[in-house]
Amino acid sequence: MFVHNFEIRVSYADTDQMGVVYYSNYFIWFERGRTELLRETGLPYKDLEKQNLFLPVVEASCSYKASAQYDDIIIVKTRIKKIGKSSIIFTYEILRKLDGEFLASGETTHAFINRDRKVIRIPAEIKTKLKV
């Protein structure tokens, strides 16, 4: 399955008093990976919203293996794990670019909903684009 990679340099604002990345920032990087993957498949999130489609997170997890630190360049690898009738699951891996050390992995599950917050089936044309 398609893997989208993007790199980001850890900023000072990303770290805690101990100089390591604060745990919640990994979820921000997951979001960036997810939105970039969607953009790469021809489905920018803003265009989905114009079609009355929204993808709220309904479940999220992260497993931390090693710490990213200030000024590290990290690689966020994002994949689509599963496309259901009205949901999608993304997986993530975060690695340090310098040495390839595996830092964290995670998963998010998203429901497809409309503006009225009703769960809806994924439109066929969207499903086709997601199956890259």
DSSP structure class, residue 66: S
Indicate if 71 belongs to the active site: no
Distances (CA, A) of 129 to 17, 74, 95: 43, 27, 27
Q: What are phi and psi of 88, to 5 degrees?
A: -145, 140
Of 16, 71, 72, 116, which is the active-site residue? 16
Would you call 116 helix, strand, or coil by DSSP?
A: coil
Distances (CA, A) of 108 to 5, 8, 69, 82, 91: 17, 20, 24, 11, 7
Q: How far apart are CA 75 and CA 94, in angstroms?
A: 6
Would you call 90 helix, strand, or coil by DSSP?
A: strand
Residues identified as active-site: 16
